[in-house]
Structures are given as structure tokens and as C-alpha cells.
Amino acid sequence: MDINDKLNMTMLCDFYELTMSNGYFRNGMKDQICYFDVFYRNVPDGGGFAIAAGLEQVVEYIKDLHFSEEDIAYLRKRNLFQEDFLDYLRNFRFTGDIFAVPEGTPIFPKEPMLTVRAPAIEAQLIETYILLILNHQSLIATKANRVVRAAQGRRVLEFGSRRAQGAQGAILGARAAFIGGCDGTACTISDQLYGVPAGGTMAHSWVQMFPTELEAFTTYCKLYPNNATLLVDTYNTLKSGVPNAIRAFNEVLKPLGITKCGIRLDSGDMTYLTKKARQMLDEAGWTGCEISVSNSLDEYIIQDLLRQGAQIDMFGVGERLITARSEPVFGGVYKLVAVEEKDGTVTPKIKISENVGKITNPHFKKLYRFYGNDTGKAIADYLCIYDETVDDSKDLLIFDPEATWKQKTVYNFTARELQVPIFQNGQLVYKLPELKEIRAYCKEQVESLWDEVKRFDNPHSYYVDLSRKLWDIKYSLLKDNAGGNKA
């Protein structure tokens, strides 16, 4: 059986979402309007921010929500669901609203990157897939952005397909890495499907297939004279690899007037080898020859290589990027924050925990970002109730909700609401941007953050403030529900 021929992503849900949905149906709650927020609690790798990614795949999933007759037959065999509920699923479609921050937006803990307003069953059933997509792509986009920033303007390519967790991890991981700032990927299908530029030259096996290293290099240069990047560490980088590359360039490219070429190293002391290789290439007149490196790189190794004076023009980053190896779980959650009464009143809900970090911010909310008019830099994010507005023509006192004694006055700022409507009444109202637009937007928004927030270690804690009205509601719910009666 080909699993891809059988997959209906609507069935990619935790089974308890089906049992709860059946319970809502049996208790007359299927039409109860609910509000759920998607947010995360801790920045991966101890960083200062994360990058939102995966919204396009959420949109495609929502558009295709349905249960097939094969799905209905499977559920019937479980002997848990009555026929009227199965009939309901047979005609199931999403009819609610979704709001989200655009892909590429820097996001901070506990603020909603996506909000669902929908009837209870619809809102419940989509939880798993939404989290799966947003958690994975936001994690990889965040890691990629760290790697790209470490490279200090040098090109970074994603090289991790063969080490990814499954086909979707490779394909969508390459997409997310491009959003985070990578220039391209080795994954061909990601180029075909999403337009992530795919590229690559040769492996060690190419060199080994020929009688000599030189013949392997000259043959490749003849085949691809305008894209000749030669892997020089199959045998001995400095004694044969680089000299043979120079000879191949001289014999094949120079007569054609081609000066664009490159070498790649995949092993050894990258600082020492790239310095020596650069010297050898320059002395041979190939000053425009680019040096690229790969081999288990991450942001910290790249940072150290450049501090040591390594001569590198491009980094190929594989397993530690595509798997976010240093912290491979994003930790996004999907929590009920409000229900809507028949008269339209929105009633806030809160989850309380002995673990303070798991206490939720209740209510249907707006998320603003404040930018300084004098610097263009992001000052703080601001969460308020859906019916509140921010007047950025006046000074505003904000405080850190984790430490209310930390207060600051925001002045001379512009407030921008971050979430935008994606679906309304089940209809897509958002124009999905091109991937290159998302990448450019991400770069622009990351540049709007202060350098102190972008530090890899001990970054400055960015303000995510609650409005006084929202804080008062949260505090009231904490007091009222301390005994577990209403949460």
C-alpha cells in the first residue's frame, strides 16, 4: 500500500479529538462557538524570539477538511460512534474564522500566532494538524534564522534532506529554512513544489568514480562550466584537492573566459584549510573562486569559524538545521481561551496550573506591535481584549505581566495589529504571498528588532504586555477559579 494514496489529513488528529467531538455532538454543544489560541511558551535554544511559519500549509489543510466514506467506515468499526454523528462527519466542513500573524513574523512566548473561532467540533478536530504544521516549520525557520545571522551576510544553503525526520520533514523543512533566510536547498522537490532554489554539484563518489582526481574535476568543468564547484577533500585537500582544482580551472574554464567557480570542503580543520586554500587560489589568479564548507555546522560553529578568520563564502548546513538538533521541539500549544454565548457575549476561559508558565492568557484578543517612530525598531508587543483599540498618538504605560513592577512608558510610536483574517465563515479571505515575499518580509521584520534581542546567549527579554483590562480579567479568573470550579 502506498501511504500517500491513502492519506486524508483530516484523519491526522489525536483520537481524543474524535471522542470529544462525539461528546459535544451528543450533548448539544456542536454549535457552541469557541476560541482557541496557538502560542508557544519558550524560545528554542534560549533565543530572544521565534519565526512564525507554516500558515500556507494550514490554509491548504483547512480548505480540504472532509471525511471520506473510507474514513466513516473505519470510525464505524470502532463501535464508539453513533450513526447520526457519522452522518454529521460525512458533511463536515470548516465554517469558522481564523486569524494569524503572517509567515515570517518574529513572535514571542505566550502571544497568539494563530486564533481559531469556530463551532466546538470544528475547532477541536483541527488542533493536531495545525500544531504539527506550525510547530515544525516555526522551529526550522527559527533555527535557520539563527544560522543565517551567524553567517554575517554569507550565503547559507540547507543541506539536510537525508537526515530529516521523514519526507515532509525534508520538503517543508527546506521551505521553512528559506523563510528563515537560507538562500536555497539541496532538496529538489522543494524547488519543484515551492520554488525554494535547489542546487548542488558533486559528492565524493563522483571523484572516486574516475581514475584520477584531476580527471574527475576536468570532466565536471567541461559538463558544467558555468557552475563548477569542485569537492576538494576526497583524498588530500591541500596536497591534491586544491592544486587539481586550480589545474582544472586553468585547463577548462580559463580558455572560455570563465572566472566564476568554486571549491567545497566537507571535512577537516575548516579555519586552517580555508585560509590555505584562499592563499593558493589567489596566488594562482583565481581570486573570484568561492570557498564553501559543509559538515555538521550550526550557528555556534559558524560563529567560531568566522571569529578565527576562516575564508568562507558559503555554508551548507544539514542535520543540525533540518532537525533543529540542539532543541528539536518547538512546544506550541492550542488552548481554549473563550466561548461565545448565544447573545454574542464572549466569555473568557483560563487554564490554571501549579506550573505558573502553563497559566494561559484568557479571552479573544488583539495583538499589537509597537514600533518607535524615531528608530523604526520594535519596542514591545501588546495584548488586549478584542474590543479595545490602541491610540498611538498618546503615551502608553505598559508593564511586564511576569513582573508587574517593571513598567515603562511608550511614546512616539506606531502600533500595528499583527494578526490578520485568514478565514471568515469558512471562506479564505487572505491572499497567500509568494515564498520570496515571505522571506523578504521575515528579513525586514527581524531587522526591526534590537540587536540585544537577537543575541544567541542571554538575549534581552522583549516586552509582551497585557492591557490593564486584560490583566484585570485574568487576575479575576485566577481568583475565582483557584478552587477549580470554573476553569
- When pLDDT is averaged across residues 439-459 and rounded to a whole number, the result is 97
Percent of the chain residues past pLDDT 90, beyond the cut: 90
- For the stretch 333-354, pLDDT in tens is 999 999 999 999 999 999 998 8
Sign of the CA dihedral with 91 first, then 96, 102, and 107 last: negative
3-state secondary structure at position 317 = strand
Chain segment 351-364, per-residue pLDDT in tens? 998 888 899 999 99
Whether residue 73 contacts residue 100, with contact meaning beta carbons closer than 8 Å, is answered with no
In the predicted model, is pLDDT for residue 3 greater than 70?
no
pLDDT exceeds 60 at position 403: no
Q: List Cβ neighbours of 301 (8 Å cut-off, separation of 6 or more).
A: none
Q: What is the mean pLDDT of residues 284-301?
A: 96
Mean predicted lDDT score pLDDT of the chain: 95
Decide: residue 18, CB within 10 A, 0-12 exposed, 13-18 middle, 19+ buried.
buried
Q: Which residues does 378 contact at the CB level (< 8 Å), separation at least 6?
A: 106, 369, 370, 371, 448, 449, 450, 462
pLDDT at 1 over 50: no
Q: 278 pLDDT exceeds 90? A: yes
C-alpha span between 484 and 32 (Å, rounded): 22
Query: What residues have CB less than 8 Å from 166, skipping those under 6 apart?
Result: none
Q: How far apart are CA 236 and CA 24, in angstroms?
A: 68
Q: What does the alpha-carbon distance between residue 95 and residue 103 come to, in Å, rounded to a whole number? A: 23
What would you report as the CA-atom Rg of the chain, rounded to the nearest whole angstrom?
26
Q: Residue 273's pLDDT is what? A: 98
Going by their DSSP bridges, the two strands 365-372 and 413-417 should be labelled as: antiparallel
Q: What's the mean pLDDT in 234-240?
A: 97
What is this structure's pTM? 0.95
Residues 465, 467, 470, 474: what is their CA dihedral angle, to the nearest 10 degrees? 40
Long-range contacts of 79-87, Cβ-Cβ distance < 8 Å, separation of 24 or more: 80/19, 80/22, 81/18, 81/22, 82/22, 82/26, 84/25, 85/21, 85/22, 85/25, 85/26
